[in-house]
């Protein structure tokens, strides 16, 4: 059996599947996630059988009360964690069969992740922060620089390359984090409460940047508490107690 992993053509090419619909990018089948106590007894059933299919080019908001399982779901969609039951197919490939190494390499090439806390490295420059994912992919320095500048220009920060995170506003720091998510040219952008740490006008500007990326063809999955954020997405999935309560167009 070969363990060579590459991104399936269906994800990268944008070719339609036979039914004329864009190809599935992420598909959850009966996904469960149980968090265990150290002694092995069940602690929390955070996801209790979730079925979701997201196609290339969609924009999807994930909503639900605190504790309903949103972050757990995002961590699985983003391959930061694995289901304890059911299956997750990313670009048609099941993550269950992948080693941790293969999964993290696959994640690095497929998914860009934006967190509520910007998670920048304080002592590194903006340019170097954005280049970090490429560093882990072994991309040479000159090319890292070129692609960091390209990503930072996309988010309107092409003139801040040498700044440190503390020299930037919260909104600018989140733009750096978005540039870091884009620098690998991912298939999907995933964001968990991306405007949660920002005041409302800064949050609106960040949301606009994210929506511009979607308009440019990026598949977008965003966890949010905010109805005005969700309303800008095409589709809203609501979680309740670890299950999908509703899944449909945002209207």
What residue ranges bind ligand ADP (CB under 6 A)?
35, 43-44, 46, 64, 66-72
Cβ of residue 237: shortest distance to ligand ADP, in angstroms? 12
Of residues 70 and 232, the one with the C-beta less far from ligand ADP? 70
In 3-state terms, what secondary structure has residue 98?
coil
- Two tokens, residue 163: 């700044």
User: Considering the complex, what minimum distance in angstroms separates the CB of residue 45 from ligand ADP?
Assistant: 8
C-beta atoms surrounding 115 within 10 Å: 19
- In whole angstroms, give the CA distance from residue 4 to residue 106: 11
- Contact call for residues 107 and 123 (beta carbons, < 8 A): no
Nearest residue (CB) to ligand ADP, 80 versus 102: 80
DSSP 229: H
- Tokens 């924009």 locate to 59
35 binds, among ligand ADP, Mg ion, none (CB under 5 to 8 A by kind): ligand ADP
The reply on whether position 71 binds Mg ion by CB under 5 A is yes
The total of other beta-carbon atoms located within 10 Å of residue 50's CB is: 23
Stretch that binds Mg ion, among 45-53, 69-77, 83-91, 160-168 (CB under 5 A): 69-77
Which stretch, 64-72, 94-102, 162-170, 239-247, contacts Mg ion (CB under 5 A)?
Answer: 64-72
Tell me whether residue 134 is exposed, middle or buried, using C-beta atoms within 10 angstroms of its C-beta: 0 to 12, 13 to 18, 19 or more.
buried
* 173 contact choice in ligand ADP, Mg ion, none (CB below 5 to 8 Å, kind-dependent): none
Question: Smallest distance, Å, CB 22 to ligand ADP?
Answer: 28
Query: Given the complex with ligand ADP, which of 67 and 162 has the nearer CB atom?
Result: 67
Q: How far apart are CA 34 and CA 4, in angstroms?
A: 30
Footprint of Mg ion (CB under 5 A)? 70-71
């Amino acid at each position: 059996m070969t363990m060579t992993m590459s991104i399936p053509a269906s994800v990268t090419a944008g070719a339609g599947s036979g039914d004329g619909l864009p190809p599935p990018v992420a598909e959850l089948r009966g996904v469960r996630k149980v968090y265990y106590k150290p002694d092995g007894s069940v602690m929390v059933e955070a996801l209790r059988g979730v079925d979701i299919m997201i196609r290339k080019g969609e924009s999807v908001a994930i909503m639900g009360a605190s504790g309903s399982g949103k972050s757990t779901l995002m961590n699985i969609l983003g391959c930061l964690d694995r289901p304890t039951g059911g299956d997750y197919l990313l670009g048609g490939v099941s993550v269950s069969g992948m080693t941790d190494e293969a999964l993290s390499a696959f994640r690095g090439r497929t998914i860009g992740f934006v967190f509520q806390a910007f998670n920048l490295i304080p002592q590194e420059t903006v340019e170097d922060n954005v280049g970090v994912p490429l560093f882990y992919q072994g991309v040479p320095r000159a090319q890292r620089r070129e692609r960091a500048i390209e990503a930072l220009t996309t988010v309107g920060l092409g003139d801040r390359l040498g700044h440190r995170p503390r020299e930037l506003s919260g909104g600018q720091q989140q733009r750096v984090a978005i540039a870091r998510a884009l620098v690998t040219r991912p298939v999907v952008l995933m964001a968990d409460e991306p405007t949660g740490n920002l005041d409302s006008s800064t949050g609106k500007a960040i949301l606009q940047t994210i929506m511009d990326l979607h308009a440019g063809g990026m598949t977008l999955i965003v966890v949010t508490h905010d109805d005005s954020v969700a309303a800008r997405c095409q589709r809203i999935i609501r979680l309740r107690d670890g299950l999908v309560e509703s899944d449909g167009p945002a209207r």
